[in-house]
Structure 1
Amino acid sequence: MAGEFDGKVAVVTGGSRGIGAAVANRFAQEGASVVIGYNSSADEAHALKEELKTAGARCIAVRSDVVETEEVAALMNKAVDAFGRLDILAACAGISHFGALPTLSPQAADQVFAVNMRGQLFAAQHAAHHMADGGRIILTSSNAARRAVFEHTLYTASKAAVDAMVRCLSIELGQRGITINAVAPGATATAMVAQNAAKYQPPGMNLTAEEWLDVSYALDRLATPAEVAGAYAFLAGKDAAYISGRTLPVESCVF
């Protein structure tokens, strides 16, 4: 494998499945040494690791719960121990949540923000600690952060916080020549979306999945994880050298 990221080292949290796995694969295809961070999906992570190694990539898989800051720090340390440096972080670990206002609990709020916001914040902190000038940090937001989605308050708020983080951290990290941005995927063909697809419709609307796509998306289909991964590769690449503090949407949603 050879390409734009030859000689670079990339850490991908949530790298065992869905968008994270596609991002890890894309970086490896472009020549990066890849560290797949995972929490509960050990089989998938190690299967992807072996697939990438068979294709010629340098790759390791490391268990790391992004809620536990010490484990996040250890993940970055293991990347440097294995490959000698750290150039790119793609923070893809995340969880979804739906719930009506009367049902929301402090525990649910803490869990969603711990993974989706705090986990990405401290991944950025510990990755930046190891990065030299020119490092790239890409967090994961959502198109839901800019839309009104029924009973989706905790999730959308946690992703809106990511948009705010990249804006503010761009100033601080820019002093070291490090860019930080976010990707905001729309509806993507992942297990998370499959489990929650019907919940994205407004109350009283009972369209089939095909009907919902037809009226809601200009391209009449879900994005593939590989298509979303292209946005992470762009923000990590040379053509995005002057982009920082921004959230890049990857969607064809028409409202």
Structure 2
Amino acid sequence: MQTVTSTDGTDIAFEQHGDGPPLILLHGGSAPQYWRPVIPRFAEDYTVIVPHRRGVGESGDSDEYTLSRGAEDVRAVIDAVDDDPILFGHSFGGLLAIETARTASVEKLVAYEPAVLVGEYREQADLASQMQARIDDGEPRQAMKFYVREVMHGGDIDDLDGWLAEWPPWPDIVALTENIARINRAIEGYRLPESLDITAPTLLLTGTEGPPHLRDGIRAVDAALPGDHLLEIEGVGHGGPAEAPGRVIPKVRSFIERQETVAPESSR
């Protein structure tokens, strides 16, 4: 494990695997262990770097958290590696990757269902406050169940307990409940610009089984970038990169290993 110091003095830890051009994997509302099924698929050809988000894993923490502070943490990791990295973010990590790529030099950008809320859903979003109410009532497990139902399943699943019993992060992820509530406050406060000033070649990924509000969000991100960047993967949900790496990662590798810098064709 290595560490870097972010702008405000907080230590940000990161793992490093393999050898080759740098590829930074940014986890979402789960732990950095989310990427375990993905790392072996890149480590033979890339130096895979997995930062631990502030307040998670081996990283330090602070009283205040904002999206811009999270991007500063990612930039601190970028500054510590050789060459411009490829950024690959999932969910909130996808939003961090997008915001970081607006100000940092990156080779390429990949975001799987970034946590971008738009339209009526954004105006009514109160996931953070509903999680916090359950936390304040001494029910972090119920807060996490509420989060999983909304974010992973778009609020619609018949047997959540049965699904959780088969979900590898459960129940350890309950320990991250307060951290996840605060990143949702950052997500709900974010407003997508009409245009994104990102020059790096970009791939946006979504699964056809992903939650509708995040699928709306990624289409809005695509519209804010010049050209077509969106690729939909049939039958895959929000956990796609780790839960279906055999479906998702070949598409990511195909994009990042292409020599040309034109945007990928949309599958819409």
TM-score, structure 2 normalization: 0.43
Greater percentage in helix: 1
